[in-house]
Amino acid sequence: MIEDFRGFEDGRTYEADICIIGGGPAGITIARELIGSRASVLLLESGGREYEDEVQALYAGRNVGLPYFDLDVTRLRYFGGSTNHWGNYCGPLREIDFEERSWVPFSGWPITLKDLDPYYRRAQQICALGRYSYGRERWVELGLDVPAFDPAKVLPNVRQIGPQLNFAEAYGPELAAAENIRVLLHANVVNIQSNPTATSVAHLDIRTLEGKRGQVTARQFILACGGIENPRLLLASNGVEQNGLGNRQDLVGRFFLEHPKAWRMALLRAKSPLALVQAYTDRFHDGVHNRPRWRLARTAQEDMKCLNGEWGVGTDADRQGGTIAARKMWQNLKRGRWPDDLGEKVWRIASDLDDVGVNAYREFMLGEEPIPEFQNVIMWSTSEQAPNPDSRVMLGEQRDALGIPRVQLDWRLTELDKYTKASIAKIAAAELARLGIARAKLEDWLLDPNGSWPDVAGEHHHMGTTRMSDDPKKGVVQGDCRVHGVDNLYIAGSSVFPTGGTVNPTLTIVALALRLADHLKPGYAS
Amino acid sequence: MTMKLTRRLLLAAGVAALLAALKPGRLLARHRSRAGGAARTPTGDRLAAAFTDLDAPREVGRRYLRADPLEASPERVQAFLDEFSDLGSPEALRQDLARLRDRDFRVQDIVFIDGWVLARSEARLCALTVLL
Ligand SMILES: Cc1cc2nc3c(=O)[nH]c(=O)nc-3n(C[C@H](O)[C@H](O)[C@H](O)COP(=O)(O)OP(=O)(O)OC[C@H]3O[C@@H](n4cnc5c(N)ncnc54)[C@H](O)[C@@H]3O)c2cc1C
């Protein structure tokens, strides 16, 4: 059932076997997995079914490091979490991403790709994606020409882009119908209260924005509030341990990772720029869009001693142009939604009718992906970020409406991150030229070791802040996602990733959530 | 005033490099004995005549030599010329250049001229248009 905490009397205590904090894809997946088990499950969600300004404002914070998205923009605080506006771009981490690499300080997961593989396959379905296939064979399936890049350097890669999948809309009804699941909306967890030795969670304190209070007791607790809020809540739960719960080693909030994205690494020159773009543009196949790209092979990473990286071919098309506006409008209408900024979109379409017409023909008559008009073909790249203890989430001075210290994010990149971008660019440029596909002119910042990072941004992927390690001195959670030293507290979500690879995180979040549910289920078998 | 390399210049450099591989084989062969000469030689004149547009490869060559002046040394030039199996045969030259380019790109022996990524052999070929 799904209920609203605001409708209950003040001061009540709620009991469950398993209490999940946070109703995003991580929390919803675990709850769903426990449907029909003997566990009584209580899922606490801060928001309601719709966006509310006052709830979202609880996410506001301060960026004190590299320029980053506003912290109340880069995530959503209501049922479904950030899947209320995510893109459903998905892919699995690769084998090397789990390994300890001598040239990547703090690398290595306590689990391997093999451990996660069966869960990835299930996650694939949950995220409404196509066949579990992301490499060369996918390129062949898509009918793409696979260039003869040196496989020791560059490998074909794909991102599957599923339909707009809001986890609350898609899976909320199952939770509502389940007898052993209870979802409590507008229930903000404001404190995780441990026993006096901080070895076990005793209860949670919950509040509504209107001031209603309650407590929750459970046998097991799962923190699933996202990669920024998970550490915030642990740090703020400092009644017993003054540095926060699970933070004896001062690791909570540290190692914040993103996927540094450079939209423009190089200008590409080819005989036919349009043909080059068309060759590697999205393909609709198997019920999903597929975006071709390449990734660095293991040997290239080993030889160059760089992080993992991906690159692809794009254009400098005007993102405010008519074709993009028309596509967004069409997608909204197909989902039965009235587009935002309707007037502005109509204006953009009207003032760019030529391009909209050409692309409508391409999409509807030829069945091809639209390619908005562009001046230049470019190489973009997204890469793994080097784990860095100084890149971190902290508590700020100010407090939110519930009295919790607001969050501060100090996002930092290192020389290894920059070196990786330069390595990707050089390898890609050399291979493109070798095969006669294109010539590349690298951006100045890639060739200047002392230069700044002009065009690098995050991707709304918040990882690493409660990292996983079997060594309690090196990680906040152990391999099964339980917090070191706290016997009934688990963490779900990308905050447990010790390294982030290059792929969007949610498929891995869902896979890990399934694995955690499998770990918990035997305790509640009939 | 430093000239920015334009696409036209770069493509022209590519064309010139190919021409160098196709046409002036014998000229290069004759040059073997006096590689590194500073003044424009008869070889240089004839090499120049083989290019439709010598400005672009020269500009690339000049920039390359400015970044790495040692590349103008007779030893280096000789070593580069030695990489060609038969400087007298245009076909062999073309194949050799393709092989050298492939090798350079494979081992990342690349140079950056105004950000453009060239195989070292391509840059050396352009440098020859300045040196010869
Ligand atoms: C614009 C955008 C586009 C994205 N696109 C992609 C993409 O294409 N592919 C991809 O893989 N990822 C994408 N992401 C990231 C993706 O949305 C997240 O990785 C994913 O939603 C994280 O899931 P989660 O369940 O761990 O956390 P969240 O989705 O953040 O959910 C956390 C939940 O916890 C609740 N909560 C927070 N604090 C409390 C509290 N104190 N008490 C109770 N409840 C609380 C929140 O309301 C929320 O419902 C995108 C993100 C954004 C912002």
- Best CA proximity match to A96, nearest among A392, A310, A413, A417: A310
**pLDDT at residue B39 is higher than 50:** no
**pLDDT at residue A92 is higher than 50:** yes
Provide the pLDDT for residue A517: 98
- Contacts with A433 from chain B: Cβ below 8 Å: 101, 105, 117-119
- Best CA proximity match to A508, nearest among A98, A14, A58: A98
Provide the pLDDT for residue A526: 64
**pLDDT at residue A100 is higher than 80:** yes
Q: From the candidates B108, B109, B113, which should be mutated to test the interface with A, based on the most A CB atoms within 10 A?
A: B108
Give every CB contact of residue A243 below 8 A, 6+ residues apart in sequence: A235, A250, A252
- Best CA proximity match to A108, nearest among A416, A479, A410: A479
Using pLDDT thresholds of 50, 70 and 90, give the confidence band for residue A249: very high
**pLDDT at residue B95 is higher than 80:** yes
Please tell me which residue, B13 or A245, carries the higher pLDDT value. Answer: A245
End-to-end CA distance of chain B: 25
- Best CA proximity match to A227, nearest among A359, A362, A69: A69
pLDDT, mean over chain A? 94
Q: What is the mean pLDDT of residues A280-296?
A: 93
- Write the DSSP assignment of B3-70 as a string of letters: PPPPHHHHHHHHHHHHHHHHSTHHHHHHHGGGTT-SSPPHHHHHHHHH-S--HHHHHHHHHHHHH-GG
Question: Tens digits of per-residue pLDDT, A325-355?
Answer: 777 777 777 767 777 777 877 777 777 777 7
Binding pocket residue ranges, ligand 1, CB within 6 Å? A 21-27, 44-47, 74-75, 77-78, 81-83, 85-90, 188-189, 224-226, 229, 233, 460-461, 493-494, 504-506, 509
Provide the pLDDT for residue A38: 95
Residue pair A485/A246 in contact by the 8 Å Cβ criterion: yes
- Best CA proximity match to A371, nearest among A262, A267, A282, A269: A282
Q: From the candidates A305, A434, A442, which should be mutated to test the interface with B, based on the most B CB atoms within 10 A?
A: A434
Six token digits for residue B2: 């430093």
Question: Tens digits of per-residue pLDDT, A46-88?
Answer: 999 999 999 999 999 999 999 999 999 999 999 999 999 999 9
- Best CA proximity match to A440, nearest among B58, B119, B17, B63: B119
Question: Tens digits of per-residue pLDDT, A140-182?
Answer: 999 998 999 999 999 999 999 999 999 999 999 999 999 999 9
**pLDDT at residue A446 is higher than 50:** yes
Which of B10, B101, B106 shows the shortest C-beta gap to A150?
A: B106
Separation of A332 CA from ligand 1 center, angstroms? 21
Shortest Cα distance, chain B CAs vs residue A429, angstroms? 7
Please tell me which residue, A336 or B27, carries the higher pLDDT value. Answer: A336
Separation of A84 CA from ligand 1 center, angstroms? 8
Which of B7, B110, B116 shows the shortest C-beta gap to A430?
A: B110
Q: Do A434 and B105 touch (CB under 8 A)?
A: yes
Q: Do A426 and B117 touch (CB under 8 A)?
A: yes
Which residues pair with residue A218 across a beta bridge? A16
Six token digits for residue A292: 């071709």
CA-proximal residue: ligand 1, atom 3 (nearest)? A86
Six token digits for residue A182: 């209870």
Atom of ligand 1 nearest to the CA of A25: 25
Strands A288-296 and B110-113 turn out to be: unpaired
**pLDDT at residue B1 is higher than 50:** no
Q: From the candidates A154, A296, A439, which should be mutated to test the interface with B, based on the most B CB atoms within 10 A?
A: A439
- Contacts with B123 from chain A: Cβ below 8 Å: none
Question: Tens digits of per-residue pLDDT, A368-410?
Answer: 777 777 789 999 999 999 999 999 999 999 999 999 999 999 9
- Contacts with A439 from chain B: Cβ below 8 Å: 10, 14, 116-117
Give every CB contact of residue A402 below 8 A, 6+ residues apart in sequence: A58, A188, A190, A207, A209
**pLDDT at residue B99 is higher than 90:** yes
Residue pair A30/A210 in contact by the 8 Å Cβ criterion: no
Give every CB contact of residue A343 below 8 A, 6+ residues apart in sequence: none
Provide the pLDDT for residue A449: 75
Using pLDDT thresholds of 50, 70 and 90, give the confidence band for residue B37: very low
Chain A nearest-CA residue for B98: A434
Q: What is the mean pLDDT of residues A408-414?
A: 97
A interface with B, Cβ–Cβ below 8 Å: 150, 266, 269, 426-427, 429-431, 433-434, 439-444, 447
Shortest Cα distance, chain B CAs vs residue A178, angstroms? 58
- Contacts with A379 from chain B: Cβ below 8 Å: none
Atom of ligand 1 nearest to the CA of A73: 53
Model pTM score:
0.89
**pLDDT at residue B25 is higher than 50:** no
Percent of chain A exceeding pLDDT 90 equals 83
- Contacts with A427 from chain B: Cβ below 8 Å: 108
Question: Tens digits of per-residue pLDDT, B42-85?
Answer: 545 544 554 556 778 888 899 999 999 999 998 888 888 888 88
- Write the DSSP assignment of B70-117 as a string of letters: GGGSHHHHHHHHHT-S-TT-HHHHHHHHHHHHHHHHHTT-EEEETTEE
Write the ipTM: 0.83
- Best CA proximity match to A501, nearest among A239, A157, A271, A140: A157
Using pLDDT thresholds of 50, 70 and 90, give the confidence band for residue B23: very low
B interface with A, Cβ–Cβ below 8 Å: 7, 10-11, 14, 101-102, 105-106, 108, 110, 112, 114-119
Using pLDDT thresholds of 50, 70 and 90, give the confidence band for residue B27: very low
**pLDDT at residue B111 is higher than 50:** yes
Provide the pLDDT for residue B20: 54
Question: Tens digits of per-residue pLDDT, A468-510?
Answer: 999 999 999 999 999 999 999 999 999 999 999 999 999 999 9
